Every structure is written in structure tokens, then in C-alpha cells.
Amino acid sequence: MFKEFYETSSFLKSLNNTFLVLIPKKCGAEDLGDFRPISLLGGLYKLLAKILDASLITNEVIDSWQKRKEKGLICKLDIEKAYDSINWKFLLKVMQKMGLGLSFFPSSKGLRQGDPLSPYLFVMGMEVLDVLIKRAVEGGFLSGCNIRGGRESSLHITHLFFADDTIIFCEARKDHLTHLSWILFWFEAASGLKINLAKSEIIPVGEVVGMEELAVELGCKVGSLPSQYLGLPLGVLNRAPHMWDGVEKRVRRRLALWKRQYMSKGEELL
């Protein structure tokens, strides 16, 4: 479904249908004013929106660094066998910290692929990495990027998570990558998850000197822009010819369809 959306720029109207539910504000609600309308959207639409949001935010970070002529790093991390290796003792501790009850179903290791509950449980585990990164930023051990928000206010973006696809933004400094490697080590030790450094990469934004040395500090390879995140392009210039290859192909396909629709039967036979 996602592939079809990217190729055709459209999806079924039914995916955007909203179910309106009336929630009573108080016991014994009778009048219409005693109810609060809540709109419920389908999960597929929300997933699609989250993917687009993550890609747009990442491109905003790249654009902000480039406009200010600042040097930055994008750390794309790959989590190895994410659902299979998460530690259940760790996950139960996380759920307990979140206020969930102790009475839970028994399990030893991993999350079953395809189970509707698995993504939620995995996201709960990733919340620990989220907290570790936020504390490191508050302590000045890591930095992100300030991008312009609405009404000239700024947003501080440090990292983006979408399931096991992880991106971390930081300054092009060796000590920041050292701190990040410690954070990842602590997270791996606690959660049972492992960062696949062979598939992970750091991507420079701007003219960053000594990239090979910085990559060794984190233990991963050096990437470059343009790249991809969640299947969408990152850091591609609007003027770049290959940026418009897919758009041109789709326009030509639509023009051919329109031309066919307005052809007479005689023209089609000819």
C-alpha cells in the first residue's frame, strides 16, 4: 500500500474515513452538549502520516544546517534482529515503570513478528533509548539541531524513531560521538538489543573534516547525501535532475491515460 502511494501519490479514500464517537463528559449525560466528539482515524493513515513527518523533519534539519553553513552529522542506526532479541526482564521493568500492572503473560525472549501487540511493546523498549538521549542532551553531552517552527519559534530536534529505524542528529565532534557510543553500549546491555554497526552509518552535512576518524569512534561506516530514510529521499536538491525522474515518469503516465480517454474509436484503431 505504501509503495502504491509513493508511486501514484494517491490512496483509497476509505483510508481517510473518520469514525465520530461521542464520549460523555459526565455521568448521566443526556443533552448533546454533555458529549465530547472524538474522531477516530484508521491505523494505516496514521502510519503513512508518521513516515512522511519523519522524512520531512529530517530534510528540515539538513536544510537548516546547510543554510547556516554549519557542520553536522546524521547517525543512521540499524538494530539487528530487533524483535527477536529484546530482553523480557528489561521490557517488564519498563512497563512497570510506566505504571502497568505486574500480572502479565509469561515469556522468555523476543517478540513475535506479526503479532499486533509486538510493535507497541518494542516501542516501549525504545523509550529507554529516547530517555537516555534526552538526558545526554540536557547534560550537554549531545546536541541536535534547532529548526524554525511556527511563528518564528525554534524546535530542537535530536533524534527520530520509527519502530527500529533510528536517526540521531549531532554536531561533528569526536566527543559527542564518544558519548553516543556509551549511550548505545548501555542501552544494548540493558535491553538485549544490538546495533548492527556494519549496516549503520554516519552521514556528514557540510564540509566535515576527518570523517573516517569520526566513524571509527562510533564503529560504523561513512555515508553520504543524498540518502534515504523510510524509503524517502534525504538531502536531494530540488534542482537535481534525478530528483524529478519519478515525477516525470508519473506525469507521462497520466498524460498517456488522459490522451487515451479523449481519443475517438477511429483514432484508437488507427
Domain ranges of the chain: 1-41, 52-235
**Side-chain half-sphere CA neighbours of 173 within 13 A:** 13
pTM of the model: 0.67
- pLDDT, residue 98, reads 82
Which has the closest alpha carbon to 157: 57, 47, 25, 262?
57
The phi-psi region of residue 128 (left if phi > 0; otherwise alpha if psi is between -120 and 50; otherwise beta) is alpha
- pLDDT, residue 19, reads 77
- pLDDT, residue 22, reads 86
Reading the block at residue 181, the C-alpha cell is: 557510543
- End-to-end Cα spacing for the chain: 37
- pLDDT, residue 111, reads 57
Strands 72-80 and 194-195, by their bridges, are antiparallel
- pLDDT, residue 262, reads 67
Which has the closest alpha carbon to 77: 172, 181, 199?
199
Three-class secondary structure of residue 75 per DSSP: strand
Q: Please count the other Cβ atoms lying within 10 Å of the Cβ belonging to residue 109.
A: 11
Strands 159-162 and 145-148, by their bridges, are unpaired
- pLDDT, residue 143, reads 87
Reading the block at residue 269, the C-alpha cell is: 484503431
Three-class secondary structure of residue 36 per DSSP: strand
Which DSSP helix (H) or strand (E) runs through 100?
A: none
Grid coordinates 505504571 are at which residue?
99
- pLDDT, residue 122, reads 82
- pLDDT, residue 1, reads 63
Write the secondary structure of 114-155 as one string of H (helix), E (strand) and C (coil).
CCCCHHHHHHHHHHHHHHHHHHHHHCCCCCCEEEECHHHCEE
Q: What is the pLDDT along the chain (270 residues), one digit of tens a residue?
A: 666 666 666 767 777 677 788 888 888 888 888 888 887 766 666 667 776 777 777 888 888 888 888 888 989 988 887 777 788 888 888 888 888 766 655 665 555 656 667 777 888 888 999 999 999 999 999 988 888 765 666 778 888 887 778 898 988 889 999 999 999 999 999 988 888 888 889 989 888 888 888 888 888 888 888 887 777 777 766 555 555 556 567 677 777 777 777 665 555 555
d(CA 213, CA 206) in angstroms, rounded, equals 16
- pLDDT, residue 249, reads 72
CATH for 52-235, options being 3.40.50, 3.30.1380, 3.30.70, 1.10.3470: 3.30.70
- pLDDT, residue 179, reads 93
Three-class secondary structure of residue 221 per DSSP: strand
Measured in degrees and rounded to the nearest 5, phi and psi for residue 98 equal -80, -5
